[in-house]
A and B are shown apart, each in its own frame.
Chain A
Amino acid sequence: MTVQAAAERRGIDWSKRRSLLIEAGIVLAIALFLILIVPALLSGFRLNLMGRFLALAIVALGIDLIWGFTGLLSLGHGIFFTLGGYALAMHLKLQIPPTASSQLPEFMSLYGVTELPWFWKPFYSFPFSALAVMLIPALLAALLGYVIFRNRIRGVYFSILTQAATIIFFNFFNGQQKLFNGTNGLTDFRTIFGVPVNNASTQFAFYVTTIVFLVLAYALCRWLTSGRFGRLLVAIRDDEPRLRFSGYNPTGFKVLVFAVSGALAGISGALFTLQTGIISPNSMNIAFSIEMVIWVAVGGRATLVGAILGTLIVNFAKSLLSEKFPDIWLFFQGGLFLLVVLFLPDGIVGWLRTQGVDLVRKLTGRNRVATYPSLEEDPEVDYERKNLGD
């Protein structure tokens, strides 16, 4: 009995492990395809765009985690994205050659600052900056999440509070010329690790780094959403009071998942900054944060692949359309919001999984009548079908 149970357990483990291995293989193959083959297919400009959009896909994963799985619509991920970008940009701004006349970032001397502000100093060290890229947004998200979730403020209230926080940070960074160069943001980066930033080979290294981080982020989200923790998140989304009555305190989980998704946004912002060469308060405006949400909605909520796919599709569409017809883009974007919400609530991936499969079946003529899965697997029913049917 015990042997059988153990074997059974091992058997379940095996099938699970095999599907996991297959998934890991697919992810790896796509990553290798992106690293080895795509650069040969795309021009330098498009490749740079691709890198940026893959960086944005990381923040989309974060939003999928908090919105798709946990059901909390955050309109404030622009904050975490921008903070991550600033943390790395500050490090880059401090790469001043020792021969330069002033040892300050050039905008500071412009505004008459003579001494480096104290909080800039730790950013001389790269490890600190790299940590700050993740930790500052995560801590801020945890703090914000704690004061909101503690009081069971949720739903629309959470959304508009995060939206207000976005505009607050936007105003704050815009107003601080002496500390962060205000509206202009941080730009004009020269070197990283002593290598010029704008080199083609450095940019390619950034591209590869982005893909590596995207794969890691995907793995993290996959791990978080697959086990017990993932089921808890879905439970928070679907019926929070019931979860509370079953003896869980959702506050801690919500704070944690908000912090993780903030950290992902920070990483995304840092990688994006490396490839655009600028970070400014503009990426904290409300429109950008809501745009992030629509990427996830287009791809499909609660499907991690959908978040990545949606980001790439929407952003490439945006870059194509706004090149050709700049006026129409806002109409198109607004229409996209409406269409997705009204007609494609599960996004592209969700649609493929449900109606798409049926459609393919219909087209190929293999129309199977849907029954209850338990009936399909029931040995008795199976026996009857085989032996008693016509």
Chain B
Amino acid sequence: MLPSILDGVFNGLSIGSILLIAALGLAIVFGLMGVINMAHGELMMLGAYTTFVVQNGFRRMGEPWLQFYIFFAVIMAFIVAALVGLILERGVIRYLYGRPLETLLATWGVSLMLQQFVRSVNWVLVVGLMVFCLLYFGGLWLVRRRPDFERIRGWAIAILLALSAGIAWAVGSVLAQTYGLAMTKPWFGAQNVDVTAPRWLLGGLPIGNYQLPYTRMFIMVLTVLCVLGIYWFLQRTAWGLRIRSVTQNRNMSACLGIPTRKVDALTFALGSGLAGIAGCAVSLLGSVGPNTGQNYIVNTFMVVVVGGVGKLVGTIVGALTIGILDYVIGTGILALLFAPIQPLTDFFTFFATTSMSKVLVFFLIVVFLQFRPAGLFPQKGRTVDA
């Protein structure tokens, strides 16, 4: 009895902590820009794949190094996801401010492309992309220095786009022809890949006759560090102050000389980086595939809905509650708890699968929203929509 409850709370907490890291980024970005990033799950997936790559790299370096790859992987996952997020913000989202629903669709498109990218990425694709970017942006940079750039802009972009795409495609196919499989073999493919935790994370801390797995404890420690880091960053640094002020009132902050566009880009990169760390944590729990992000994304959104966007604490409470509820209902522990009362047991047994527990949790969320439509800790302000 006791071990099963302990197990439920502990596993729920660890799943909740992954949700928390992912939702933190989402909530900060949503609070700041009113934008929901549908590609957030794919950024998690990128973080998980980065962990996989880092692990393989360290495996080549030999034994003592392999034990510590995870620390390096966390940092790399953050950097990779943050860079992709930065490109996403600069390339797409900044053109869509004030149109949150369109942003939703555009980021969904990005998430589809990222999924397919991971499935079919190979050297040909990477080299082709690099050639394309080099030619296109290099060409644009050259053209931009001409005095009559504004006049020929449309034509220049069209010609450059066609030219660089053509050359990149040609280079790609020549590479594929000359080197064959070495170039065209997908790096990861469509099937899942496995990350093995370092040996010192494999065991568990025995409590009575129950073992607390070290991997899950590692994830929780990572979460605590992330939350503390974000708290410190938002409350104690100059850029954190700017982020908070833009969240409160964008126009007023702009008037006071805060570079709101820079703040947006920075915050988006930060949120994406957090998604990358969450992906690194996910990879420790099981195998990861191109669809990994999709499994977490809806729950992450629900955390933002329940927590509200005003305060960090809302996200924390929301994530942990949803994580624990989901796990506790899904594993049927509640049914065991209510064993003496037959109808309740039947009720909870009906929902005691991973998929059915989500049904009940969603129902609870909708009921909760009837009382607190703006979430646990809503932003206070005098808006019509509050």
Contact = CB atoms under 8 A, between A and B. Distances in A.
Interface of A: 67, 71, 73, 147-148, 150-157, 159-161, 163-165, 167-168, 171-172, 174-175, 241, 286-287, 290, 293-294, 297, 327, 330-331, 333-338, 340-342, 345
B109 A333 contact: yes
B356 A171 contact: yes
B356 A160 contact: no
A175 B358 CA distance: 12
Is the contact region of chain A dominated by helix, strand, or loop, or is it mixed?
helix
Given A160-B305, A172-B359, A342 B113 contact: no
A338 B106 contact: yes
A330 B105 contact: no
A164 B326 CA distance: 14
A336 B117 CA distance: 16
B167 interface: no
Given A327-B116, A334-B113, A341 B302 contact: no
Interface in B359-386: 359, 362, 365-366, 369-370, 373, 384-385
B298 interface: yes
A169 to B, nearest CB: 8
Contacts of A174: 355
Contact of A333 (B96, B112, B298): B112
Contacts of B35: 156
Nearest to B95: A342
Nearest to B112: A334
Interface residues of B, number: 44
Contact of A342 (B96, B101, B362): B96
Contacts of A155: 100-101
B34 interface: yes
Given A160-B298, A163-B298, 20 more contacts: A73-B101, A73-B105, A151-B369, A154-B385, A155-B101, A156-B104, A159-B36, A241-B384, A286-B298, A290-B108, A327-B119, A327-B120, A330-B112, A330-B113, A334-B109, A336-B109, A338-B92, A341-B102, A341-B103, A341-B105
Nearest to B106: A341
A172 B298 CA distance: 15
B353 A297 contact: no
A359 B355 CA distance: 53
A171 B361 CA distance: 12
Interface string B300-318: 0110110000000000000
A159 B385 contact: no
A175 B355 contact: yes
Given A175-B353, A331-B113, A157 B305 contact: yes
B294 interface: yes
Contacts of B30: 156
Indicate the member of B34, B92, B355, B370 with the most A CB atoms within 10 Å: B355
B110 A338 contact: yes
B101 A337 contact: no
A161 B305 contact: yes
